[in-house]
A = this chain, B = another copy of it.
Amino acid sequence: MPPQVGVGVGVGVGAVTAYALRASRQSSPSYGLTTSALIKQTKRAHVRQFSLFSRPNASKRSNPTKAARWLFPPKHIARALSGKPLPQRRSVILNFAYRTAALLGTGFGFIGILFAAFFLYDSTTYKESALTFGDCQVSEAALNPRRGGPKNLPIIEALLDDDDSPDAKKKKSKPRLVILGGGWGSVALLKQLNPEDYHVTVISPKNYFLFTPMLPSATVGTLEMRSLVEPIRRILTRIGGHYLRASAEDVEFSHKLVEVSQTDSRGQDVRFYVPYDKLVIAVGSVTNPHGVKGLDNCFFLKDINDARRIRNQVMKNLELACLPITADDERKRLLSFVISGGGPTGVEFAAELFDLLNEDLTRRFPRLLRNEISVHLIQSREHILNTYDEALSKYAEDRFARDQVEVLVNSRVKEVQEDKIIFSQKCEDGTILTKELPMGFCLWSTGVSQSELCQRLAAKLGSAQNNRHALETDTHLRLNGTPLGDVYAIGDCSTVQNNVADNVVTFLRGHAFKQGKDPETVELHFNDWRGVAKDVKRRFPQAAAHLKRVDKLFAQFDKDQSGTLDFGELRELLKQIDSKLTSLPATAQRANQQGLYLAKKFNKLAHAAPGLRANEIRDGDLDEACYKAFEYHHLGSLAYVGNSAVFDLGGGWGVTGGLWAVYAWRSVYFAQSVGVRTRVLMAMDWAKRGLFGRDLMSF
């Protein structure tokens, strides 16, 4: 075990250094005396010590053999191991020097040990000879899948690695959990899921999970791309899941088949079905064009490749600006960077870009560039970061003002041309001016909209889906309009429907009918109402906040003071609550919470299901029977705004600060990062930045 070795060598080094020092003086009398004093003190102990460690005095044996020398290590090591005191000096200075040397020596020795240990470990990571498994077992179904389904495509009922290991074999009988997408939602789900209960297959066009919140840092090289991504296969290893690199095109809800497409090596688009027992749709969202012309002149920031493209474009512009043949106005244009969209992404990119230009550019590029660079942030609302507390927005704006990042609020982009951006700005007096801004680079980061797949599914489900922006789910995250417990949707591609009023009233009405009452005449007394409220709270956790004072509400809506609520009054009451419920934000935080929620529920379902099916369950609603509805807890949001950061802790609480906040901001993401690997890499990158700055290169 290294530590103990560490001691030996550690002090070894220390003492050696120390001895060097000591050599400068004659061997001091005090030394001999101290020890002798000690020997007097602890005679018995010392006898034992000698026999154990230290070398017997010369008198005892004249010239020790090799073996003996091995048995009795040199004095200073012996001392390190035995408890004998370090030699004493008369001079405090010398004692101090002596200790210092010993301690430094130990410290460096210790580090040396750690290095050695690492190399030892590293040397074990090389596989000397080629691994071969001999013939490995692959089911016929995996090699030649049968055709079927509505479109008579191959149906992937078995995978190539289904028989690779005993564990894998066991899973073949488990329910098939298919997950579309490899973003925050999916990964949270995968990390929480029990390894035994499901046969998991992830289908995504990208074979890595991307740590989106840090993406702006990667655009300028504060972080490396690879530090923000984790291979999905690595994440799947724990639960022995499978991965297919392909994109989902459609879902046959009635056949429980996902239609998947992949372009083969000859560039042809091949399609096939993947069957599921449970399907989780977590395909995220796409950039929102807001119907603006010329977005092909813009850069986006949703993917790791976007980050590289941006990085290269920024470098390209800088290099072009360095050429004396570039005319001056052209140079100004090349160095005018426009960010459209004042959300966290836009703001953080602006901040990172400014850091790059301010910290690194000036070192290596002509000064002229620094003076001609301009960064512009176009925001349609009154403030940037408008989802944050206003104080924080203000702080960010002041910060940017100081950093010479121009913030253009109340401005809507009309068109993006190759070399300029045209936008309309609302002035204080309400008049709307159309302005244009020459630019060499434009980032488009103005919110998200629905992916093609989701649009297709929504259309398919017809009346059950009434939201243009996302797939609607109930509070158990089940996709509305699909058989209960089959299909779930989480993350940016979904939204939780909170139609309390319709839902409850319909239910009560049905209930009344069952009891042979006329719904219109039913009256709820306060107790009934309390029961209803309880039920609402359970089924719509987000509504709970608005149902705190049940009595107050009752009094307020019991217009006729009858001491009872009729359906009309009840509907009014619930409608009011609905109106107060906002839809959940499209953030990593939400996706993460939904993923965890599903994982926990699936873990429960896997075991509870059989038992529950036995007893009679209301509407066969397994999910509701064995797990609570999803409730979103906002933990606050944070943003980097250029050598300072803002934290919105919700409820009007906010923190802003300089460098310490930056470190805090980093630690938050460091902690949230997906695994050890990404954490180590991030740390390395931050160290790199500190040591060498960002490397201004473009490949």
Contact = CB atoms under 8 A, between A and B. Distances in A.
Given A160-B368, A264-B320, A96 B121 contact: no
A484 interface: no
B156 A324 contact: yes
A48 interface: yes
Interface stretch (A131-139, A388-396, A571-579): A131-139
A118 to B, nearest CB: 7
A659 B695 contact: no
A295 interface: no
Q: Which 5 A-B pairs have the closest CB atoms?
A: A83-B95, A85-B85, A107-B110, A161-B366, A122-B690
A677 interface: yes
A323 B262 contact: yes
Interface in A401-439: 402-404, 418-419
A63 interface: no
Contacts of A544: none
Contact of A402 (B129, B419, B663, B695): B129
Nearest to A124: B690
A3 B104 contact: yes
B107 A95 contact: no
A158 B695 CA distance: 26
Contacts of A556: none
A41 B34 contact: yes
Given A3-B104, A246-B323, A308-B699, A130 B371 contact: no
A403 B45 contact: no
Contacts of A89: 42, 45, 83
A691 interface: yes
Nearest to A101: B7
A654 interface: no
A302 interface: no
B98 A323 contact: no
Interface residues of A, number: 151
Interface stretch (A225-233, A509-517, A620-628): A225-233
A143 interface: yes
Interface stretch (A444-452, A521-529, A679-687): A679-687
Contact of A440 (B265, B317, B365): B265
B38 A403 contact: no
A111 interface: yes
10 contacts: A30-B42, A37-B38, A83-B95, A131-B362, A160-B322, A160-B368, A161-B368, A207-B698, A224-B226, A264-B320
Given A45-B92, A118-B690, A364-B237, A7 B127 contact: no
A608 B145 CA distance: 81
A6 B103 contact: yes
Contacts of A85: 34, 85-86, 88
A328 interface: yes
Nearest to A270: B325
Interface string A305-344: 1001000000111011011111010100010000000000
Given A123-B659, A224-B226, 19 more contacts: A42-B89, A45-B91, A45-B92, A48-B92, A81-B99, A82-B96, A85-B86, A106-B107, A129-B403, A143-B328, A161-B368, A164-B366, A207-B696, A207-B697, A226-B695, A233-B364, A244-B322, A270-B325, A680-B692
A367 B265 contact: no
A138 B372 CA distance: 13
A477 interface: no
A366 B243 CA distance: 10
Contact of A128 (B237, B368, B643): B643
A138 to B, nearest CB: 5
A580 interface: no
A208 interface: yes
Counting chain B CB atoms within 10 Å of each CB, the highest count among A106, A133, A304 belongs to: A106
Contact of A88 (B38, B118, B323): B38
Contacts of A358: 127, 130-131
A330 B404 CA distance: 57
Given A42-B88, A159-B366, A371-B133, A319 B99 contact: no
A154 to B, nearest CB: 5
B231 A697 contact: yes
A364 B238 CA distance: 11
Contacts of A167: none
Nearest to A156: B324
A291 to B, nearest CB: 27
A6 B104 contact: yes
